[in-house]
Chain A
Amino acid sequence: MGIELLVNLSYVAAAVLFIFGLKMLGSPATARKGNLVSAVGMFIAVVITLLDQSIIDYKWIAVGIVAGGVVGAVIARSVAMTSMPEMVAMFNGFGGIASLLVGWAALYGFEANAFEMITIALSILIGGVTFTGSMIAYGKLSEKMPGRPLVFAGQRVFNILLILAIIASTVMFVLNPEQHLYLYLVVGLSALLGIMLVIPIGGADMPVVISLLNSYSGLAACAAGFAINNIILIVAGALVGASGIILTQIMCKAMNRSLSNVLFSGFTKVAAGGGMAKIEGEAKAMSAEDAYYVLEAASSVVIVPGYGMAVAQAQHVVKELQEILEKNGAEVVYAIHPVAGRMPGHMNVLLAEADVSYDLLLEMDAVNPRMDTFDVAIVIGANDVVNPAAREMEGSPIYGMPVINVDMARNVFVMKRSMASGFAGIDNPLFFKENTRMLFGDAKEMLGNIIKAFA
């Protein structure tokens, strides 16, 4: 009893540390300490668990911890900031499979009652979906597989049948814990469901998916907590689950779409685009040198980064340009759309890597009201998030989505590789506006040329 009480009290302490850690993540000034506080909570929880009397042999635990620790540390140290989305997706997946395995292994420890069987089934289910879903997201984000939505005829029917099969095999599994066939069915079918849920989702919608998978990884841990009667798993899992759900909501709101629209619109893509006015006009190209003349005279500049900045690895050159402009007496700020990039906060991390002060990174709602006061808005590899069609073209697929109104600035420079439409495949009337100039080419190179002109 003594040890059990100690273990559980330590879990309470760990939960408190997790909560304080998350609270401190609420401000950039305390965030790093908050992460450390949460890590201490984790350390306490793990060490105290090792005192558990049911643990007889430490050999395999040591093997697992050393192997996982080395792999985790190597990945964490070597990953490039631009690859952060796929790394988070991969880690989500590992969390998912761990919960699946914990649920599975719980079958052998003790006689599970009906409620425990249900929670074991749930942790296998959620864990499986999280694992394969995250692996597909990883594949798409790292471009190891095509990022566009993968759809085939009868997909919807197939998915409905799949879900029915999962429900049936879960019920059979709970009723017949001894029959391993049903267990394998639940494992296999949930893995298949994870794949089916993520393949129809396109690259631009990844911030939503990755947030949702984040939430699932927490819920899987939570379910595993119920399965093995462990309170700290339930508490920590629920905290993560809630966090993922909030991020999902924020992302959906930023795209003016419902979650179900994001998850299932891949199936109905063809329907969009009807009744849309054709956008016509001529985009006016501009050289780096001409851009320099305008920037040289500008007293306020807003930079709007998008996924293209990440692809071109242009964040350091952007910072260089910022410094030059500031030296020239201009005010420079950054406007960041919530869904710019491939995961929530993606642009902020890249700019932080380039040493851009975080108080210069403004949210969309802070910049839009004063957009007309900026002499120049520089759009770097962003497209849909600055598309004025969202504001002024009823019938456009993105109509109603909140965007950064760069077209209201006095001059707009758009750095872009070509005239191709954005990931959403929607034409952008911004390129044809009177005050817009296009700088075609690689963002990093283009910025470099402008910087050279200043020298």
Chain B
Amino acid sequence: MEIVFLAFILMLSIFLGFELINKVPATLHTPLMSGSNAISGITLVGALTSAGAEHTVLATVLGTIAVAMATINVIGGYMVTDRMLAMFKKG
């Protein structure tokens, strides 16, 4: 049942994503891309548990690298998107 429940969430999220993104104008496609890329850094949440749970040494190592990589993605992604969007002005 759990699987069905997760699959439902997945399906609804994908449809919602289609609806949301379809309305983004071409002029914002690059910030959209880097901004959504920052969101995909959500995998950081998963990495945190792996890095801190002390299951095995290997899991901690993998988790720590994952935390670092995902943080680059999150921090870098949001910052660069903000930098870009700050430049979009109406003259």
Q: Which residues of A are at the interface with B, using a C-beta cutoff of 8 A?
A: 18-19, 21-23, 25-29, 31-32, 34-36, 38-39, 42, 45-46, 49-50, 52, 54-58, 60-61, 63-65, 67-69, 71-73, 75-77, 79, 81, 84, 87-88, 91-92, 94-95, 97-99, 101-102, 104-109, 115, 210-211, 214, 217-218, 220-222, 224-247, 250, 336, 338, 343-346, 348-349, 352-353, 355-361, 363
Subset of 21 A-B contacts with CB under 8 Å? A25-B28, A26-B20, A31-B28, A52-B48, A54-B52, A55-B49, A61-B48, A68-B75, A71-B72, A76-B77, A94-B70, A101-B63, A102-B46, A226-B6, A229-B6, A239-B36, A243-B36, A246-B21, A344-B29, A349-B30, A357-B89
A236 touches B39 (CB 8 A): yes
Known: A42-B38, A243-B21. A106 touches B76 (CB 8 A): no
A49 to B64, CA, bound (A): 15
Bound-state CA distance A106–B58 (Å) is 11
**Distance in Å: Cβ of A212 to nearest Cβ of chain B:** 11
- In the A-B complex, the 4 residue pairs with the smallest Cβ-Cβ separation, listed nearest first, are A242-B17, A68-B71, A357-B91, A64-B67
Q: Collect the chain B residues with CB atoms within 8 Å of residue A240's CB.
A: 17, 36-37, 39-40
Evaluate contact between A106 and B41: CB separation under 8 angstroms: no
- Chain B residues whose CB sits within 8 angstroms of the CB of A21 once the complex forms: 35, 39
A101 contacts B66, C-beta separation under 8 Å: yes
Q: Are A77 and B83 in contact (CB under 8 A)?
A: yes
Contact of B35 among A25, A50, A69 (CB under 8 A): A25
Residues of chain A within 8 A of B81, CB atoms compared: 35
Majority secondary structure of chain A interface residues (helix, strand, loop or mixed): helix
Q: Whole-angstrom distance between the alpha carbons of A38 and B17 in the complex?
A: 14
Asked if A68 and B70 sit within 8 Å, CB to CB, the answer is: yes
Q: How far is the CB of A110 from chain B (nearest CB, A)?
A: 9
Report how many residues on chain B are interfacial, defined by Cβ distance under 8 Å: 81
**Given A22-B21, A28-B25, A105-B63, is A232 in contact with B45 using a C-beta cutoff of 8 Å?**
yes
Query: Looking across the interface, which residue of chain B has its beta carbon closest to that of A115?
Result: B3
Q: Please report the C-alpha to C-alpha distance between residue A109 and residue B31 in the assembled complex, in whole angstroms.
A: 36
CA A39 to CA B71, docked complex, whole Å: 12
**Are A91 and B42 interface neighbours, CB within 8 A?**
no
Interface of B is mostly: helix
- A91-B37, A241-B17 known; A52 vs B49 contact (CB < 8 Å): yes
- The answer on a CB contact under 8 Å between A50 and B9 is no
Assuming the A-B contacts A239-B16, A349-B31, are A105 and B66 also in contact, with contact meaning beta carbons closer than 8 angstroms in the complex?
Answer: yes
Distance from A111 Cβ to chain B, minimum over Cβ atoms (Å): 12
In the complex, residue of chain B having the shortest beta-carbon distance to the beta carbon of A225: B46
B7 to chain A, nearest CB (A): 9
Is B28 a contact of A28 with CB atoms below 8 Å?
A: yes
Contacts of A357 in B (CB 8 A): 89-91
> How distant is the Cα of A68 from the Cα of B73 in the complex, in angstroms?
8
In the assembled complex, the Cα of A72 lies from the Cα of B86 at a distance in Å of 18
Contact for A56 among B15, B52, B83, CB less than 8 A:
B52
* A-contact 0/1 string along B55-91, CB 8 Å cutoff: 1101110111111111111111111111111111111
Residue of B nearest to A15 (CB): B13
A27 x B16 contact (CB < 8 A): no
List chain B residues, Cβ under 8 A from A77.
79, 83
Q: Would A38 and B38 count as touching, CB distance under 8 A?
A: yes
Using CB atoms, name the residue of chain A closest to B48: A49
- By beta carbon, the residue of chain B nearest A30 is B85
B75 / chain A contacts, CB cutoff of 8 Å = 68-69, 72-73, 76
With A19-B16, A242-B14, A349-B31 known, 10 other A-B pairs at CB within 8 A are A28-B90, A49-B48, A52-B49, A71-B76, A94-B72, A101-B47, A224-B43, A233-B46, A236-B40, A363-B26
Q: Which of A25, A64, A220, A359 contacts B65 (CB 8 A)?
A: A64
Output the least CB separation between A246 and chain B (Å): 5
Find out whether the CB atom of A105 lies under 8 angstroms from the CB atom of B48.
Answer: no
User: Are B72 and A61 neighbours in the complex by a CB distance under 8 Å?
Assistant: no
A82 and B50 CA atoms in complex are apart in Å by 37
Q: Is the CB of B53 within 8 A of A56?
A: yes
Q: How far is the CB of A35 from chain B (nearest CB, A)?
A: 5
| Contact (Cβ within 8 A) A102 B71 | no
Residue of B nearest to A39 (CB): B78
**What residues on A are CB-neighbors of B86 within 8 Å?**
32
Q: Are B23 and A26 in contact (CB under 8 A)?
A: yes
| Min CB gap A336→B, angstroms | 7
- The smallest C-beta distance from A34 to any residue of chain B, in angstroms, reads 8
Q: Are A221 and B69 in contact (CB under 8 A)?
A: no
A73 engages B79 (CB within 8 Å): yes
List residues of chain B with CB within 8 A of the CB of A38: 35, 38-39, 78
Residue of A nearest to B47 (CB): A102
* Cβ contact of A69, chosen from B38, B60, B71, cutoff 8 A: B71
Q: How far is the CB of A61 from chain B (nearest CB, A)?
A: 5
B90 CB, nearest partner CB in chain A, Å? 5
Q: Residues of A contacting B68 with CB < 8 Å?
A: 63-65, 67-68, 71
Q: Tell me if B62 and A104 are in contact (CB < 8 A).
A: yes
B18, B43, B91 interface centre (most CB from chain A within 10 Å)? B43
